[in-house]
Every structure is written in structure tokens, then in C-alpha cells.
Amino acid sequence: MKQYLSLAALALLSFQAAAVELAKHSQVFDAGQGVSLALAPTADGSQALVQVSGINHPLDEVVFLTQVRELGNEQRDYSILLDGRAYNLLNKRRAWSGESFQLNLPDTQGVELGYNEEKTKALKQSDLLALYQRQESAGVQARLATFDREKRVAQYSSRLHQMDSEASEACDTPLVTRVDWSAVTDEQLISLSVPSFCGEVVSQMANLCGRADTYKAEARTIKGVDCQFGDAMKLHEKDGTLRFSTRQDEANQGDFINAILRNR
């Protein structure tokens, strides 16, 4: 298994390993069903210890030293390093009823949190800090921060398979998107949602099939889609296969693909 951690991530982890001085007051929030979150800001407010408990997830009970990003108007994000990239674990926002906190767990919808006064009074900052230091010494947070290439490829492959299935149903013909994963760099896997790029061809085919049954006959002539990242966006057919070259900075990808498909 190839694992990867960027230089920026390594620098951030090194910064996090420095001595932590906490502010005087901490808070505990509830999300219901036994889920709670402890929040202990550092003295200078630039970071905060955050621990989520009661979740069926690898992040359960792990204490993270989050980076606080101020957004103005008392709004802020609390980010961690997760699987090779920055991830907003917690958001604080202003609402008409006052401040609100939202917990964000991977592959789930955001969970609203409510302040719990009883648990806040019971929280011992020294215990939270000690647990963070023990976990940090054991490399718990570093392992979660490290990019797992095989896991990411499996996730993206599963998403592409789902998009292929939806398009196949819409067009009444089997459609398969193929990606040469060995040609996709770690940086691309970390920074880009590959299915959003490579799955766009079958998504546009499904769109066309849904609009007109006549396009279904066109779709049946396609054996599959080969996708790669290149210097420019291109789409052409060869031997019944749509060969798609995409570029991460290219705008209007869907419109480009749709226009070519309609004029094949």
C-alpha cells in the first residue's frame, strides 16, 4: 500500500506537535444519540483541541489539534488533516437565533450541535490535553492524516461505477468508464474529485438519453469511456470507445461534452 503525506501536511503536523497552551474556558456540545464534541481553544485562539465521541467512525475519541480559520462576524472553521488534505471538521456560524456549530464527518451530512452546560462543567481540560499528547506520541493523528492511495482509488472507482450504473439505466445499454489509475498522480487524487471529471461523459449521456429516446440508439454504439488527465480537454470516438482527456482547470466541462455528444 502506497501512502503519501504532502510537505505542507508534514509541516502542519510538526507545528501541531509544539507545546499546547489552552485557554481558560472549554465547551461541550451534543448532537443527540450519544454523540458529543469537546472544544478547547488554545490561549491565542489560533488552534483548538476537538474530540468527537459516540460515533461509529475511525475519528471516534481521537483528540485533534485543529487549525482555526477566522471568517469574520464571529464565524470560523476548525480544520484537521485527514487522508492527505485539509478537512473542516467543525464550523461555527451566526444564525438568526444566535451562534450555531456543525460537525462534519466524512461521507455524511453535517450534524447540528447544541451546547451542553452539564458536560461542559464536567470536562477536565487537563485530561483532554493529556489524551491528545498520548495519541500524538502514538501517531494516531498522523496515521489518519496520511494519504491512503489504495483507499482513495477504491472510493473513486466505486463512485464511477455508480455513475456508470445510473447512465446505463437511463440509456438502456451498458456503459463503463475506465481510468488508468497508474497515470493519476497522488496530488490529483488528493486535490481533485476524479469522478466529477471522468464521470462527466456518462453523466451527459444519461442527460441526453433522459431527454430523447432517439439518443439511446446512439448510446448503444458506445462500448465505453476511457478517461485521462491531459493538457487540454478533448473528446473523440475511436473504435466505438469515447476517449476523453480532461484538465483540472478547464471550465464548462459538461457543456463541452454535451455539445460534442449531440453532434457526433
pLDDT tens-place string over residues 1-12: 344 445 445 444
What is the value of pTM for the model shown? 0.77
pLDDT in the model for residue 106: 86
Q: Can you tell me the mean pLDDT for 43-53?
A: 97
**Strand 241-246 relative to strand 224-229, pairing:** parallel
**pLDDT at residue 219, rounded to an integer:** 95
Reply yes or no on whether the pLDDT at 14 is more than 50: no
SS3 193: coil
User: Whole-angstrom Cα distance, residue 168 to residue 145?
Assistant: 36
45: enclosing H helix or E strand: none
Signed CA dihedral, 118, 124, 127, 131: sign only: positive
Half-sphere exposure of 88 (CA within 13 A, CB side): 13
- What is the rounded average pLDDT for all residues in the chain? 91
Tell me phi and psi for residue 6, to 5 degrees: -65, 160
Per the model's pLDDT, the better-predicted residue between 249 and 144 turns out to be 144
Mean pLDDT within 156-162: 98
Where does the pLDDT of residue 248 fall: very low under 50, low under 70, confident under 90, or very high at 90 and above? confident
Q: What pLDDT does 208 receive?
A: 96
Over residues 194-221, the pLDDT tens digits come to 999 999 999 999 999 999 889 999 999 9
For residue 246, pLDDT beyond 50: yes
Nearest to 81 by CA among 152, 8, 186: 8
Torsion of CA 171, 205, 241, 157, to 10 degrees: -90
Q: Is the pLDDT of residue 18 over 70?
A: no
Strands 147-148 and 85-95: unpaired
Give which of 147, 150, 176 is closest to 162, Cα–Cα: 176
